[in-house]
Amino acid sequence: MNLILLSGEYAKLHAGAMMAAVAASFDMPVNVFVSMEALPAFHRDPAIRATVRKGEVGRKLEESGGDDYLALLNQAKGFGDVTIYACSLVADLYGWTLEDLAPIFDDVMGVAGFLGKTATGTTIAL
């Protein structure tokens, strides 16, 4: 399974992270590409991560006290073959490196590299 996270909306990030965790628990290899408005949600700085938009479902998910999208992606990596890439274009726009982002990323790469690496399998964009 290949997931492309584009949105800065909490509910979409959470849904993508849940899909990755469930797929990994079923021994499915998962590749995740984090780009556009989603990448700031993965910054190490909590003030930058706070820019994630929360609609009604996102607020309820957060209030429930359950795991957030970062914790779910960490769990997914523990369940199986999950590789997470940060978009090089967006990282360059902000002047960020892997050290600026949450420590769940395996590498930084561009769209062409990601698509070349994930030419087979199901691709879902959120």
Full set of structural domains in the chain with CATH: 2-125 (3.40.1260.10)
pLDDT tens, 92-107?
Answer: 999 999 999 999 999 9
Q: How far apart are CA 126 and CA 56, in angstroms?
A: 17
Listed in order, strand segments (DSSP E) in 6-122 are 30-34, 82-87, 107-109
Average pLDDT over every residue of 74-78 = 97
- Of 25 and 119, the one with more pLDDT: 25
Q: How confident is the model at residue 70 (pLDDT cuts 50, 70, 90)?
A: very high
Q: How far apart are CA 83 and CA 2, in angstroms?
A: 10
CB atoms within 10 A of CB 106: 14
Mean pLDDT of the chain: 95
Region of 32 on the Ramachandran plot (φ > 0 left; ψ -120 to 50 alpha; else beta): beta
Q: How far apart are CA 88 and CA 93, in angstroms?
A: 8
